[in-house]
Structure formats: C-alpha cells, structure tokens
C-alpha cells in the first residue's frame, strides 16, 4: 500500500475508502476539512497497488496544481464558501470515479506586522537600534503562506516632532537602507518608532494595506 503523508501537517483529516475493484485508497488533508483562499493547501492521496500519477483531482472552486512527484497535490481555492473535490483513479479497467470530498473554504486573514517582535507597546532602545526591517506573519498557520512587505514609511518621533522620515519600497521585500540603519543607531529612550503605509503581499496572490506599527522606546 502506498500511504502518503504531508510531513508538515499537524492536524490531518484522513479518509480511507475502496474502489469498486477492491483497491484501498487514502485521502489526507493538512488541516481537517478546511482550506484557505489563495494559498496552496496540500492534499495527499494514495492508492493500494497504484502509482502516484494514477490519481486525478478536480474541483469547482479554484484549481488543483499537479502533483509534485511524491503524491502531494495542492488545492488553491479562489473564493470562500464550499469546495467539492472529485477524485478519479486510473486502473487496469479504465478511469474510475472514487469519491467527492467537500471542504469548507475560509478567506486568508491579514498578516500581523511586527518590528523586533512587537506590533505596539514599548521596547528597549538598544534592541531597536539593531533592527534591519519590519516583518509580517500569518500567525497560527502550519500551512506555508509566506508574507512580505513591499512598501512602508519609517517615522521617528522625538520630543513630539518627526525627526526622521524615510520611504522604503521593494517588490521582493523591504529592508532598512543604510540611511535608516544609520539613524536607528542614534535612537534614544523616549523616541517613538512609527511604521505606516505598510503594503504587503502574502499567500500565492494576495496583497493590500496592513496595520501600522507603533513602538515607544525606553
């Protein structure tokens, strides 16, 4: 029996069934029967006595990426709601329909923006001085859903005045440039660091404006 498991899964929904000719089948999701829009949700499927390329999966919501050689498919839904996945297997007697699995599809949440591990609050000035960039995370996900920041403004407020303002923009992901890092080396207790107009990209195709970061130094 070929049993396929997606190694990164923490919670899996496992279905075992049988083809009409008696072959045992295994169908596994990485997150129960839930998927998220615009990311690659992994699906593992195996057939007793069959090969990886004998399986075809179709859907009425988004698309299924072809398997990557080890029996894993990727389901990429394009709208929230429900999705029906139909599984077909090629056998010596022809192509057999095995089952339909229904998934609940949820929208991918916005990433959380952080600098030095904080979104808001207070931070020691010495720690802030060595930071190289803010970041974005899709928190609570065991499915890979990379996020990156492609544009933001850095503002440093001292004695209620903006003493430093700089815009960073890079489609591959922004880091602080030399000018920003040089100024950060002079940060003092009482300064406030404000990262605003934050534009991010996450999942396979999502993009948008994310929440500001505001941290007071001590």
Q: How many CB atoms lie within 10 A of CB 211?
A: 16
Give the pLDDT confidence score for residue 66 in this predicted structure: 73
DSSP 145: -
| Alpha carbons 57 and 161: distance in angstroms, whole number | 59
Q: What is the pLDDT of residues 141-188, one digit of tens each?
A: 666 667 899 999 999 999 999 999 999 999 999 999 999 999 999 999
Under DSSP, is residue 9 helix (H, G, I), strand (E, B) or coil? coil
| Alpha carbons 198 and 175: distance in angstroms, whole number | 13
Beta carbons within 8 Å of 64's beta carbon, 6+ residues apart:
43, 57, 58, 73, 74, 75, 76, 85
Give the pLDDT confidence score for residue 157 in this predicted structure: 98
Low-confidence spans in the chain with pLDDT less than 70: 1-32, 46-53, 67-71, 140-145
| Alpha carbons 148 and 153: distance in angstroms, whole number | 15
Domains in the chain, CATH or no CATH each: 13-106 (2.60.40.10), 112-217 (2.60.40)
Give the pLDDT confidence score for residue 124 in this predicted structure: 98
Q: How many CB atoms lie within 10 A of CB 160?
A: 6
Give the pLDDT confidence score for residue 70 in this predicted structure: 64
pTM of the model: 0.69
Cα separations (Å) of 185 from 119, 130, 153, 179? 20, 7, 18, 10
| Alpha carbons 209 and 186: distance in angstroms, whole number | 29
Number of H helices, E strands in the chain: 2, 17
């Amino acid at each position: 029996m070929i049993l396929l498991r997606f190694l990164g899964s923490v919670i899996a929904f496992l279905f075992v069934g049988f083809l009409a000719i008696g072959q045992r089948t295994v169908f596994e999701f990485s997150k129960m029967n839930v998927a998220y829009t615009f990311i690659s949700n992994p699906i593992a499927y195996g057939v007793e006595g069959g090969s990886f390329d004998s399986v075809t999966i179709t859907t009425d919501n988004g698309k299924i990426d072809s398997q990557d050689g080890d029996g894993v498919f990727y389901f990429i839904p394009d709208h929230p709601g429900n999705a029906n996945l139909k599984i077909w297997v090629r056998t010596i007697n022809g192509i057999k329909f095995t089952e339909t699995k229904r998934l609940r599809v949820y929208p991918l949440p916005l990433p959380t923006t952080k600098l030095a591990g904080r979104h808001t609050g207070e931070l020691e000035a010495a720690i802030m001085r060595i930071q190289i960039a803010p970041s974005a995370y899709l928190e609570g996900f065991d499915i890979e859903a990379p996020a990156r920041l492609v544009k933001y403004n850095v503002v440093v407020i001292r004695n209620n005045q903006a003493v430093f303002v700089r815009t960073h923009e890079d489609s591959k992901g922004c880091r602080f440039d030399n000018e920003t890092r040089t100024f950060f080396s002079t940060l003092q207790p009482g300064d406030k660091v404000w990262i605003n107009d934050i534009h991010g990209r996450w999942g396979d195709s999502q993009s948008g404006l994310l929440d500001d970061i505001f941290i007071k130094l001590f």
